[in-house]
Structure 1
Amino acid sequence: MAWSTRQLAQLAGTTVKTIRHYHEQGLLPLPRRRTNGYKQYGARHLVRLLRIRRLRELGMSLPQIAALDAGTEDAAGTVRALDAELERTIEHLTRLRAELGEVLRHGSPLDVPPLFADDAAGLSDRQRSLLAVYQEFFREEDMIALRDIVARASPADAELETLPEDASEAEIDALARRLAPEVRAQRLRHPWTADPAGRSPRGRAAATTALAHAVGELYHPGQIRVLQRVEELLGQDAPPPVEAPPPDAPAP
């Protein structure tokens, strides 16, 4: 008994469009035609479609299936690669489920990194936005350090968040002087925070650009001036650089 393209598609649980695509890719042989020009498919076509569907369910791409047919790809190697890919997918989905569990337990916003679920209620929109950028450009161990920093937030940190845009230079300087010792202590605990972009797995250039734009757009000029003034104060505390002696200088 011969089947039409539509009948074959129904039997194989696929579509006419898919069958035509497999013909174009060379994965399914073309059938003979009746005298009226209509294709007539047989059992070997059905079996082939079912085998392709099985391989697709296992995660194989059409090029991989074609390579297996041609004998240019090792079947065992392909299976091992698929298994490794599935393992990564399972790990990813498991992590996502854990993160969703944290969201449900704490009622935290979906955009807050899971490490900060406990602190989400006390975070401003600005802080949450910055954390979203940090999550993309920092490593997991750095995000853990940031959680420690957030947990140690002081009244001065809160003042920075609420600093009015028309704050005077005296107010800016006073707040910077209150913040500077805290930032100094923070950098003693986590030295990398003095140059966070240098540790980014995305590279210094990309991280520097992203962080600079984020701070520049999320903070108003008064707040940025506080941050700049903090760096000025910390720079005043830094020991002077040791100059290397000229090459022809006599040894001491």
Structure 2
Amino acid sequence: MSWSTREVADLAGTTVNAVRHYHQIGLLEQPDRLSNGYKKYQVRHLIRILQIRRLRELGVPLDQIEEVGVGGDPSVEALQIIEADLGTTIERLERARAEIRSILQGSASTDLPAGFENIGDRLTTGERSLMLIYSQLYDDQAMADLRDMVAAEVDDASVAFDALTPDADESTRQQLAEDYAVPLARDLAKYSWLTAPGAHQPKGPRVTRETLVESVAALFNPAQLDVLGRASLLAMERLATDRAAAAHTDHNDGEEPA
């Protein structure tokens, strides 16, 4: 008894293309052929395909099937690694399912990274896009800190920034920069990594810097970019002043009375 490629695929509950792929990657030996050139699949081929399918159902990638072992005693170490990977995948899918439920209930959005669902209304259109980009450039701890920063921002300043037109006048720009500088200086003082973020940039400082420069330039108009630049300078000046004052106070506190 022998089967054609289509027949053995049907018996195994798979497709002709899958069987051919197993041949191509070396998981399934080539069968003998009839005089007309058609393949003759035997019981051993059917069993092999079923074993492969069984491991695929368990989540074993095709390129790891040989390592796990088909039939007999499987590799315990290889299965442990795959089990751990499946656990990670399950956790990711559970988080995704919870986020989708939140989106369906109207309490989350698809244009924000995980964890920002409840504060999306505090972000401008450009900031929402920027947070998605941040999520690819910064680690989980940095993103958690950024979420806390957004939650503490002043809504009025964000609204005014989002509405800022490219031809905004000098006084409007300066006032908005001063409004932004206050919380920015606070964040710089509270989250020291902001001034030296390298440890929180898994893709490296160069890629992160170049990506952010391009992204910010694309997402904000010239007036907004001007405000961001001014706010950053004002915040750094404020931070330096506060640190100098704190150092002076500590020095005086350490002096012995005359």
Bin the TM-score by the shorter chain.
0.7 to 0.9
2-structure distance, mates of 1:63, 1:232: 53
CA contact (8 A) 2:67 2:78 kept: no
CA contact (8 A) 2:67 2:75 kept: no
Aligned to 2:127: 127
2-structure distance, mates of 1:140, 1:38: 56
Percent of matched pairs sharing the same residue: 37
1:185-204 correspondence to structure 2 within 5 Å:
185-196=186-197, 199-204=200-205
Aligned to 2:250: none
Aligned to 2:206: 205
Aligned to 1:148: 148
CA contact (8 A) 2:113 2:132 kept: yes
Aligned to 1:81: 81
Aligned to 2:230: 229
Change (3 A) 1:79 1:125: same
2-structure distance, mates of 1:236, 1:36: 85
CA contact (8 A) 2:181 2:231 kept: yes
Equivalent AA in structure 2 for residue 137 of structure 1: L
2-structure distance, mates of 1:34, 1:122: 71
In structure 2, the gaps of 5 or more residues are 245-258
CA contact (8 A) 1:106 1:118 kept: no
Aligned to 1:248: none
Equivalent AA in structure 2 for residue 215 of structure 1: V
1-structure distance, mates of 2:35, 2:180: 88
CA contact (8 A) 2:185 2:236 kept: no
Work out whether 1:45 is the aligned partner of 2:45: yes
TM-score, L = length of structure 1 = 0.79
1:147-186 correspondence to structure 2 within 5 Å:
147-154=147-154, 155-186=156-187
CA contact (8 A) 2:123 2:158 kept: no
C-alpha displacement of 1:128: 0.9
CA contact (8 A) 2:32 2:41 kept: yes
2-structure distance, mates of 1:134, 1:77: 36
RMSD: 3.1
CA contact (8 A) 1:134 1:143 kept: yes
CA contact (8 A) 1:187 1:194 kept: yes
1-structure distance, mates of 2:69, 2:152: 61
Aligned to 2:220: 219
Q: Deviations over 1:105-146 (max 9, x none)?
A: 444321112322222234321121111112222222222222
- The answer to which of 76-85 and 191-200 deviates more is 191-200
Equivalent AA in structure 2 for residue 134 of structure 1: Y
- The answer to which of 84-93 and 198-207 deviates more is 198-207
TM-score, L = length of structure 2 = 0.78
C-alpha displacement of 1:177: 2.6
CA contact (8 A) 2:185 2:235 kept: yes
1-structure distance, mates of 2:237, 2:140: 32
1-structure distance, mates of 2:69, 2:150: 57
SS of 2:231 mapped into structure 1: helix
Aligned to 1:250: none
SS of 1:115 mapped into structure 2: coil
Change (3 A) 1:65 1:160: closer
1-structure distance, mates of 2:53, 2:231: 63
Equivalent AA in structure 2 for residue 91 of structure 1: E
Change (3 A) 1:21 1:217: closer
Change (3 A) 1:36 1:148: closer
SS of 2:28 mapped into structure 1: coil
In structure 1, the gaps of 5 or more residues are 242-252
